[in-house]
Amino acid sequence: MEIKPEREGKTAAIIGYLMLVGAIIAIFLNLEKQNPFARFHIRQGFGLSLMFISIGYVIGYFNSWMISSAFYLCISILWIYAFIGMLQEKYSEVPVIGKYFQQWFTFIK
């Protein structure tokens, strides 16, 4: 019986969604096998982490709970959407920006 690449790469994909440190660990975990499912979700997780850090840094200067709350809500919804897609073993991109994560992070093999 053949194991699907989605099931084989699920561990690395889960780790890839654990902020920037998890994404970096997942990149190294996937270097040997180069699983396409894991690669896809590592790129999504890496992109979400970078987006969270970079936009969060700028949002911090506004010192407004309304802006911060909207930012955290938006990031949380995107992360949950991507994570549930990964758990369902789907190649579902993060809405709006997910296709760019796949283009920008081609160094993740």
Instruction: List CB contacts of 72: < 8 A, sequence separation 6 or more.
Output: none
DSSP secondary structure letter of residue 100: H
| pLDDT tens digits for range 42-96 | 999 999 999 999 999 999 888 888 989 999 999 999 999 999 999 998 898 999 8
- Residue 5 pLDDT > 80: no
Rounded Cα distance between 71 and 32, Å, is 36
Nearest alpha carbon to residue 19 among 69, 53, 70: 53
Q: Indicate the angle between helix axes 65-87 and 36-59, nearest 10 degrees.
A: 180
Q: Residue 2's pLDDT is what? A: 61
